[in-house]
Copies of this chain bind each other. A is one copy, B any other.
Amino acid sequence: MKDKILECVPNFSEGKDRDMIEKIVGPFRRVEGVKLMDYSADKDHNRLVVTLIGDPESLKESLLDAMAVAVREIDMNRHRGEHPRMGAVDVIPFIPIKNVTMEEAVDLSRQVAREAAGRFNLPVYLYENAATAPERQNLADIRKGQFEGFFKKIRLPEWKPDYGPPEVHKTAGVTAIGARMPLVAFNVNLATNKLEIAAAIAKRIRNSGGGLKFCKAIGVDLREKGMVQVSMNMTDYTKTSLYQSYEMIKMEARRYGVTVTGSELVGILPMQALTDVAAYYLGLESFSEEQILEHRLLWED
């Protein structure tokens, strides 16, 4: 695996019909060079979230095939679900993993956007690092109004799609495609049931509150445990490490006489997010990822 490797997490607006879900993920099983890591459909959200790993060309090929199924089969006019959505293929983020720069991930998202727009006559918005304007960076801003609202929204000059026709696809809606860093979901628990303390700490440590640049955080009530939690998304673990947010939470918690009881990592994360933590706490002076057996087995040849 000397190849360029990206992760891709396409979201489709179908969470109930098992047959259709299998049809959509078919290309991800079929195309060599793509590894289907996970897919999970939620009935309440009526949404399918797929996790892929692969090289740029294989990802592109399999995604365009899967999009063809979703655009043909899903009718957004009949779609109901709790999760906000605007299209049959709701969103496709590309995430650089190995031997890939963010620029290359942005380039791939543009290629897929252009081809999909042409092939399916589908309006496509570029978002996050691929965005063509600051107000298009945040996916929530693009999706505001959802499928039903887009018939009006798309006519506004500031919401002209980046690719495809300036009209909503009658059954498949619109799609957002973009590039971003891997997210690490990291939660730290506090020995108190006072939500306001978790919320105050979250505000202090997150970027928007003047804290760590690549950290989003909110306070969450864990009622069953009788605890509260600072729930974080680390948006670039290569620049803001997990140990920084952990130590900063401990520091802020002191002000309230509250202790940190532990933490949890949710979902998949790159090895480096943890080896950086170990290297910090052990004071490693000249550590390299190349020293890790699994790293060498996977990425060298």
Contacts and interface: CB of A to CB of B under 8 A. Distances in A.
A205 interface: no
A263 B282 CA distance: 6
A295 interface: yes
A264 B286 contact: yes
Contact of A284 (B7, B37, B265, B271): B265
A214 interface: no
A96 to B, nearest CB: 12
Given A37-B296, A270-B294, A274-B275, A265 B287 contact: yes
B278 A293 contact: no
What secondary structure prevails in chain A residues at the interface with B?
mixed
A261 interface: yes
A267 B291 contact: yes
Interface string A6-44: 010000000000000000000000000001010000000
Contacts of A156: none
A133 interface: no
Given A275-B275, A278-B278, A264 B284 contact: yes
A279 B264 CA distance: 9
Contacts of A285: 189, 262-264
B282 A243 contact: yes
Contact of A281 (B97, B182, B243, B270): B243
B274 A278 contact: yes
Contacts of A230: none
Chain A interface residue count: which class?
35 or more
A283 interface: yes
A1 B35 CA distance: 14
A261 B284 CA distance: 9
A284 B296 CA distance: 26
Nearest to A274: B278
Interface in A66-109: 97
Interface string A168-206: 000000000000001000000100000000000000000
Given A246-B282, A282-B263, A97 B293 contact: yes
A298 B5 CA distance: 14
Contact of A271 (B182, B271, B277): B271
Contacts of A278: 242, 274-275, 277-278, 281
28 contacts: A1-B297, A37-B296, A53-B293, A53-B297, A97-B293, A189-B285, A242-B282, A243-B281, A260-B283, A261-B283, A262-B284, A263-B283, A263-B284, A268-B293, A269-B291, A270-B292, A270-B294, A271-B275, A271-B294, A274-B275, A274-B278, A274-B279, A274-B292, A277-B277, A277-B281, A281-B281, A294-B298, A297-B298
